[in-house]
Structures are given as structure tokens and as C-alpha cells.
């Protein structure tokens, strides 16, 4: 090897950190570094919502799968929020023997997920939507037993990544891209991307081989609203039904929050479909924060120091917003939002554009708030 160039200081520091981390990895330890593919999938897509924390609370009470709601008689009458929920989703099921839905959700941004598991689940494992007996850190133990369909609609383009392929599915459309999320001994973690009727979808599954993945893709089916809702676990039905009075819940959540001029609950996008209090709280506080940051951004550009300072002052009260105090017990959303509030005082995000980082961090675009120029 020839003589190496000296590294700049930040790379020197990074090198030391990496060697320290490598040293830590050598030590005997519990295998906590193995990414859990199931929730990794969710976090990669959702990013800003700490759903796993919120799910834990929901799961305690209900471990059983949904009973046969309809039987062979007339179709059951589902509450309006449930019907809206089903109509907004692609209503895809995986009707292979032993497979069932263990979770389904939709966020304010029009993004959602249906989680499938083959075999039984237990109260403990339901927290993570994994089959009973599966090991958290051994993907091979869930190979062929878990899958998820994520969908979203956005004008910005897709989640699509990976390599071009053409694979048949049971939906009548073909997979156009395939991405290898991970691989190890005895398992493949694959994502297939497809589009149908204005929805972009990602079918992700842990499988033993490509043949198994193709079989699962061929098996997925779109079903009607009733069939879809009958396949939902009981706690999904219960929690969606409970959001029938979302506007009232939102009004309570806004209590104690410094609201931007002209703010109304109508600014909060699709609240009726969010069935999780933590997510609803994130949508509500995120929308408020995004509007304040938008106003701050425009005021800076216009040279309106007073308006900019008003926005800064309003956001500096975020640590005292009651809903954020409650949410802090469940996840990291409040700390993210407060970090952006602090950065407004500096005018930048660690030397970079605050606006562009807020867009990614709070998902303002998905919440329907355009922040304006990024510089």
C-alpha cells in the first residue's frame, strides 16, 4: 500500500469512533444489533412516527384474533370510520393457508400498512407482530412466516427502489422493482414494488427463497370492504371505531398549544383514519409546528423580524404542550419537534437548512404544509 493521505479531522474522529464500535462488537453480548426486519420496514417508511411504542399499549388488552364477525349471515354493519379505513386502503389479503392479518393501519399522510403472519401469535409476540416462538434477533426463525404490504399515495413519486423486474402478482399487476433488504443464512428479506389504481405498494416478506416469494406475490388478492374488515384483528376494529369522534380528540390535544394565526382543525389532514393516539398526536402537533415554521421561514425571507420572533416564541413553548408531555412517555416524537423548535433560534439545523430538515423530520409535506424556500 502506498502512503496514505492524512485524513481531515472529522474523518479522524469518525475512524476512532468506528474502531471503538468495532471493539464493542467483539465483546460477548446479546445480539442487539441485528435489525428487526419487520419494524425496520415500518420505520424506514414512516420514519417520524414511533408506532411500535404506541402499538405496545394497544396490544396489552387484546391478544386474540378477530372472531368471525359476519358468519354466513348478512354482512355486518361496520361503523363509518371502519368503512372509511377500508376504502382508503388497497384491501389486500394474503389468503394462503395459515396466514392472517395481525395489524393494519393508516396515517394522516395517506400511508398505511397491513401486516401478515403465518401461524399463531401470542400476547407477547403480538407487540412485534411476529409468530409465536419466533426469536426477535433471528430472522431465519420468521422466514416464510411474516409479510407486510405498505401502501401510500403521494404526488412526489414513489417509495420505489431496487432493480427492475417483472413478477406476476395476484393483484393483476406486475412487480416492477425488487429490492433486497437483507439476507442471511436461511432467509431473504425482499421488497417488491408495484402500483395499482393510483396506489404505490410495497410487499415485503421474509422468505427462504425466491420461489416462496413468488408464491406469496401470486397469492395476494384485493377483496371487498366487508371481507377486508372481517379479516382484521379485533383490536384493529375496536381502535378504529374509537376514533369516530376524532375532531373532539383533536380539540383536546390542541389544549395548551400556541396556535398559529388562523389555525383550524381543518388544517389537520385526514384525522378520521388515524386510529392510534400517538400518531394522531404526532399529526396534530406536527401540523401546528410545520405551520409555525412555515410562517417563520416566510417572515425571515420577507425581513419581518417581529413575525419571525413570534413563531420562535410560540415554538419555544413546545416542551410545555400537554399532548407532547404525554407522548414523551411513549416515543421520541416530542424530542424531535422540540429540537426543531430550538433550531429556529439558531436559524439553521447544525449548519444546514432548517427548512429542508424539518420537511424530512416532521413530514410537513405529507401533512399538507408547504414550508417555502429552503434557504
Q: Is 31 in the site for other proteins (CB under 8 A)?
A: no
Least distance to other proteins from the beta carbon of 47, Å?
Answer: 8
- Distance between CA 18 and CA 332 in Å, rounded? 25
Q: Is 188 in the site for other proteins (CB under 8 A)?
A: yes
Least distance to other proteins from the beta carbon of 162, Å?
Answer: 9
Query: Which secondary-structure segment (H or E) carries 117?
Result: strand 111-118
- Distance between CA 215 and CA 209 in Å, rounded? 10
Least distance to other proteins from the beta carbon of 357, Å?
Answer: 7
The interface region with other proteins, picked from 69-77, 169-177, 281-289, 350-358 by CB under 8 A, is 350-358
Instruction: Return the SS3 of 214.
Output: helix
Q: Is 290 in the site for other proteins (CB under 8 A)?
A: no
Q: Is 30 in the site for other proteins (CB under 8 A)?
A: no
Least distance to other proteins from the beta carbon of 89, Å?
Answer: 23
Residue 223 burial (C-beta neighbours within 10 Å; 0-12, 13-18, 19+) = middle
Q: Is 180 in the site for other proteins (CB under 8 A)?
A: yes
Q: How many residues belong to the site for other proteins (CB under 8 A)?
A: 48
Least distance to other proteins from the beta carbon of 25, Å?
Answer: 7
Least distance to other proteins from the beta carbon of 314, Å?
Answer: 25
Q: Is 80 in the site for other proteins (CB under 8 A)?
A: no
Least distance to other proteins from the beta carbon of 1, Å?
Answer: 6
- Distance between CA 68 and CA 168 in Å, rounded? 31
Least distance to other proteins from the beta carbon of 74, Å?
Answer: 46
The interface region with other proteins, picked from 7-15, 215-223, 254-262, 321-329 by CB under 8 A, is 7-15
Q: Which residues pair with 221 in a beta bridge?
A: 93
Residue pair 240/275 in contact (Cβ under 8 Å)? The answer is yes
Radius of gyration of the chain (CA): 23
Q: Is 72 in the site for other proteins (CB under 8 A)?
A: no
- Distance between CA 85 and CA 97 in Å, rounded? 26
- Map grid coordinates 386474540 to a residue: 64
The interface region with other proteins, picked from 55-63, 123-131, 157-165, 272-280 by CB under 8 A, is 157-165
Largest CA-CA distance found in the chain, in angstroms, rounded: 80
Q: Is 351 in the site for other proteins (CB under 8 A)?
A: yes
Residue 36 burial (C-beta neighbours within 10 Å; 0-12, 13-18, 19+) = middle
Nearest one of 92, 141, 86 to 115, comparing CA atoms? 92
Q: Is 77 in the site for other proteins (CB under 8 A)?
A: no
- Distance between CA 133 and CA 139 in Å, rounded? 12
Residues that bind other proteins (CB under 8 A): 1-2, 4-5, 7-11, 13-15, 17-26, 33, 35, 43-44, 47, 157, 159-161, 163, 165, 178, 180, 183-184, 188, 209-210, 350-352, 356-357, 359-361
Amino acid at each position: 500500500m502506498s502512503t496514505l493521505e492524512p485524513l481531515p479531522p472529522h474523518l479522524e474522529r469518525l475512524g476512532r469512533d468506528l474502531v471503538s464500535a468495532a471493539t464493542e462488537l467483539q465483546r460477548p453480548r446479546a445480539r442487539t444489533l441485528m435489525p428487526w426486519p419487520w419494524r425496520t420496514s415500518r420505520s424506514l417508511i414512516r420514519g417520524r412516527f414511533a408506532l411500535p411504542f404506541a402499538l405496545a399499549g394497544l396490544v396489552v388488552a387484546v391478544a386474540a384474533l378477530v372472531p368471525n364477525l359476519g358468519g354466513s349471515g348478512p354482512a355486518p354493519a361496520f361503523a363509518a370510520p371502519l368503512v372509511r379505513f377500508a376504502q382508503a386502503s388497497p384491501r389486500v389479503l394474503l389468503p394462503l393457508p395459515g396466514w392472517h392479518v395481525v395489524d393494519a393501519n393508516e396515517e394522516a399522510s395517506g400511508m398505511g400498512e397491513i401486516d401478515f403472519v403465518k401461524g399463531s401469535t401470542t400476547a407477547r409476540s403480538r407487540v412485534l407482530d411476529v409468530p409465536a416462538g419466533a426469536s426477535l434477533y433471528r430472522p431465519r426463525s420468521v422466514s416464510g412466516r411474516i409479510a407486510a404490504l405498505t401502501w401510500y399515495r403521494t404526488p412526489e413519486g414513489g417509495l420505489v427502489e431496487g432493480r427492475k423486474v417483472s413478477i406476476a402478482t395476484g393483484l393483476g399487476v406486475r412487480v416492477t422493482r425488487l429490492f433486497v433488504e437483507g439476507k442471511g443464512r436461511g432467509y431473504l428479506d425482499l421488497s417488491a414494488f408495484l402500483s395499482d389504481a393510483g396506489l404505490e405498494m410495497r410487499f415485503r416478506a421474509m422468505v427462504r427463497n425466491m420461489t416462496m416469494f413468488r408464491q406469496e406475490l401470486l397469492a395476494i388478492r384485493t377483496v371487498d370492504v366487508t371481507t377486508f374488515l372481517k379479516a382484521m384483528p379485533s383490536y384493529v376494529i375496536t381502535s378504529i371505531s374509537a376514533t369516530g369522534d376524532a375532531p373532539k380528540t383533536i380539540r383536546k390535544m390542541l389544549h395548551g398549544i400556541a396556535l398559529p394565526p388562523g389555525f383550524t382543525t381543518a388544517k389537520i389532514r385526514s384525522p378520521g383514519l388515524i386510529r392510534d393516539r400517538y400518531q394522531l398526536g404526532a399529526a396534530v402537533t406536527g401540523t401546528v409546528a410545520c405551520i409555525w415554521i412555515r410562517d417563520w421561514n416566510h417572515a425571515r425571507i420577507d425581513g419581518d423580524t417581529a413575525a419571525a420572533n413570534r413563531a420562535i416564541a410560540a415554538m419555544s413553548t413546545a416542551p410545555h404542550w400537554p399532548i407532547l408531555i404525554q407522548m414523551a412517555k411513549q416515543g421520541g416524537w416530542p424530542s424531535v419537534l422540540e429540537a426543531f423548535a430550538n433550531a429556529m433560534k439558531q436559524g439553521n439545523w447544525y449548519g444546514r437548512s432548517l427548512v429542508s430538515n424539518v420537511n424530512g423530520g416532521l413530514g410537513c409535506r405529507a401533512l399538507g404544509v408547504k414550508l417555502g424556500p429552503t434557504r
